[in-house]
Amino acid sequence: PAIFIALCYAVLSSAIPASGGEYIFVSRIIDPFVGFIVTWARWFAMIAVIAAMSVGDVTIFQDFLNILNLHDASLFISANIQLIAVVLVVVFLIVNYVGVKVYGRVQTVMFVLLMAGLFTLVLFGLPNVKISNLASSFNPDFSLIARASSLIFFSYIGFSVINDAGDEVKDPEKTLPRGVLLSIFTIAAIYILVAVIIYGSISPSFYASYDFTDGSIADVASHFLFLPIAAFVAFAGSIAIISDINPTILSTSRLSFAWARDRIVPEKLAELNKYRVPKWTLIINTIMAVAIILLAKQFMQAVMMINMAVLLVFMATSLSTLVLPYKHPEIYKKARFKLKGLWIIALIGMLSSALFFGYVLRLNEAMPGFIFLLVWIGIGSIVYVFTQEHHKMHWKVYKEERKEKESVDKELIAGLIQKEDKKR
């Protein structure tokens, strides 16, 4: 469903560019409670993403060390994975704390390193590709495809993160839709290219004997690339994971900032530091990510929970896109990015997300994550109800005042018409 969802995000980000992304979209278009609950689920899921990526990055860096035969260093990292992952999260807390400019510079450096690694893999990997390896027998098992898709989908959710800092982007009505669409198609192209190189470069016998559950792209690449090249690819792979931690930290802080601005959570969380960054939301989110790193044991269960939470948001966002032109035509009219047949795109996005959610739920690892998600949504509902008296949603007050004024105007006009009729 990712492409259809991305198109929905492109339209909404053009119409309503604001910090808080999906919360702003869903709460303003559908309902404040629905907007809060689905993003409450996503908020925890994205914090779990930070934790999972931090641990995953350390694991990939181990491959880099093993390829270079630095086994003692690899063993040290293996014994201290959680501690090193915590250090990574804290480092990126500091990067985000000092403002968007520093964040942007760090992200640019990591992107350059990532692209250098990708270019190296393509340059030295493509000559090893054999069509016969790609054309070998394939017996599809839909449950295995869905399980693998849950991990791949885990990497596609970044396009939704782009919208969470809408207030801090130059010309957001134009820039955000472009960023969303560029990211989704670029990610797809990169995944396909890497898959062709990796699977096209290994023989059927190697494929049959290799333990992919305990392997990695870098380890496989070391069997058909020169070791220094494979080591650099492994290093770039670790940079790829790190580069995702940074925007996810930024995204979660802007989401809780939007809640605080509406006073669903304490207004203190909307307080900005001297770099114009919501400091308390950033710190709280980091503490939660560290707690998950130290306490979580089952990676796949965490991934399933993350995917289900994100799919809930995607369903709500697609529904928002579907009703926007009809419920709020004045907002849709201002959007600089519009699509013909938008309702079809939004409907496909919503239904495909719902179907994928249902299938993920059937997988063995999904039920514990689903139960936790339900409990977490229940906690969020309690938070919303108990803070309802303090909610300060200026946009909602404005809408109610406008409706009241329209009602008074209609009554006044009806009265004038009746008077004119009586005179006649």
Q: Which long-range contacts (CB under 8 A, 24 or more apart) does 203-211 make?
A: 203/133, 204/133, 204/136, 204/137, 207/133, 207/136
With a pLDDT cut of 70, the percent of the chain lying above it is 79
- The amino acid occupying position 165 is A
Helix (H, G, I), strand (E, B) or coil at 278: strand
Task: Print burial letters for 226-247: b (CB count within 10 Å at least 16), e (below 16).
Answer: eeebbbbbbbbbbbbbbbbbbb
User: Are both 290 and 378 inside the same structural domain?
Assistant: yes
User: Are both 33 and 171 inside the same structural domain?
Assistant: yes
- The amino acid occupying position 400 is E
User: Are both 335 and 402 inside the same structural domain?
Assistant: no
Q: Which two tokens stand for residue 161?
A: 């993160």
Query: What pLDDT, in 10s, does the model give residues 297-319?
Result: 565 566 678 788 888 988 999 99
Helix (H, G, I), strand (E, B) or coil at 140: coil
pLDDT greater than 80 at residue 113: yes
R_g over Cα of the chain: 24
pLDDT for residue 346? 92
Contact 172, 13 (CB under 8 A): yes
pLDDT greater than 70 at residue 233: yes
pLDDT for residue 283? 87
pLDDT greater than 50 at residue 351: yes
Q: Please state, rounded to an integer, the average pLDDT across all residues of the chain.
A: 79
Q: What residues have CB less than 8 Å from 117, skipping those under 6 apart?
A: 232, 233, 235, 236, 237, 239, 240
User: Are both 111 and 177 inside the same structural domain?
Assistant: yes
- Structural domain including 417 reads 395-424
CA distance to 126, 152, 294, 298, 301, per residue, from 304 (Å):
33, 12, 19, 10, 5
User: Are both 61 and 208 inside the same structural domain?
Assistant: yes
User: Are both 158 and 235 inside the same structural domain?
Assistant: yes
Q: How many domains does the chain have?
A: 2
Band of residue 216 on the pLDDT scale cut at 50, 70, 90 = confident
Q: Which two tokens stand for residue 210?
A: 């290799």
Query: Can you tell me the distance from the alpha carbon of 211 to that of 94, in angstroms, rounded to the nearest whole number?
Result: 38
Query: Can you tell me the distance from the alpha carbon of 221 to that of 219, in angstroms, rounded to the nearest whole number?
Result: 5
pLDDT greater than 80 at residue 328: yes
User: Are both 221 and 242 inside the same structural domain?
Assistant: yes
Q: How many residues does the chain have?
A: 424
User: Are both 159 and 225 inside the same structural domain?
Assistant: yes
CATH assignment of the domain containing 242: 1.20.1740.10
User: Are both 90 and 62 inside the same structural domain?
Assistant: yes
Q: Which two tokens stand for residue 405?
A: 């004024």
User: Are both 61 and 29 inside the same structural domain?
Assistant: yes
- The amino acid occupying position 94 is I
Q: What is the model's pTM? A: 0.76
Query: What pLDDT, in 10s, does the model give residues 154-204?
Result: 566 666 666 665 565 666 667 777 777 787 788 778 888 888 888 888 888
User: Are both 195 and 322 inside the same structural domain?
Assistant: yes
User: Are both 122 and 143 inside the same structural domain?
Assistant: yes
